[in-house]
Amino acid sequence: MSLLLNHPAALKKAQAEMDASIGASRMVAADDVPRLSYLQCIINETLRLYPAAPLLLPHESSADCKVGGYDVPSGTMLIVNAYAIHRDPAVWEDPAAFRPERFEDGKADGLLLMPFGMGRRRCPGETLALQTVGVVLGTLVQCFDWDRVDGAEVDMTEGVGITMPKAVALEAVCRPRAAMGGQLQ
């Protein structure tokens, strides 16, 4: 929501997708989320910029190997910095910018996005997390019009912690969307 509030055109585009795909006669459901392509782009771009855990769980090298030109002996603890990989300018064009469109039509296929890890040690809760985020964000976008408090840009400064909390809590103004009045009673 913080990123959408700072990028109102993206919020309007997400609302337009909701209106066209679902309409106002019912609320977004879990079955709808995979078909809401722009909502998926927003979620992917948000997780690219702000992965829930910027450092993935530690692993141990099982054999001597070379990584990026460095010798890594067997038994070395390895920690993957997903935050840095997701913002690597050699991989991502304009890496600090919020641009959900970079994920449209498979444009980002083959680029390294791993907010939940990779391979067999990937987070087992990934599917539940993505479904929950999709339904919650979809509901907020579908049912409410959003504005920033006093028009001031939302502060995206990161706080201290394992899970990258915001330094300043989000405050926003919401109003029920007129089209959704029948669903919000």
Binding site for heme: what residues are annotated? 123
Residues in Cβ contact with 138 at an 8 Å cutoff, skipping those fewer than 6 apart: 18, 28, 32, 33, 36, 39
Contact (CB, 8 A) for 42 and 11: no
Residues in Cβ contact with 84 at an 8 Å cutoff, skipping those fewer than 6 apart: none
Closest-CA residue to 45 (of 111, 101, 2): 101
- Classify strands 144-148 and 172-176 as parallel, antiparallel or unpaired: antiparallel
Binding residues: 123
DSSP H helical ranges for 50-163: 82-86, 126-143
Which tokens in the block code for residue 34?
Answer: 């995979």
φ and ψ at residue 125, rounded to 5 degrees: -90, 5
Which tokens in the block code for residue 149?
Answer: 């408090």
Residues in Cβ contact with 16 at an 8 Å cutoff, skipping those fewer than 6 apart: none
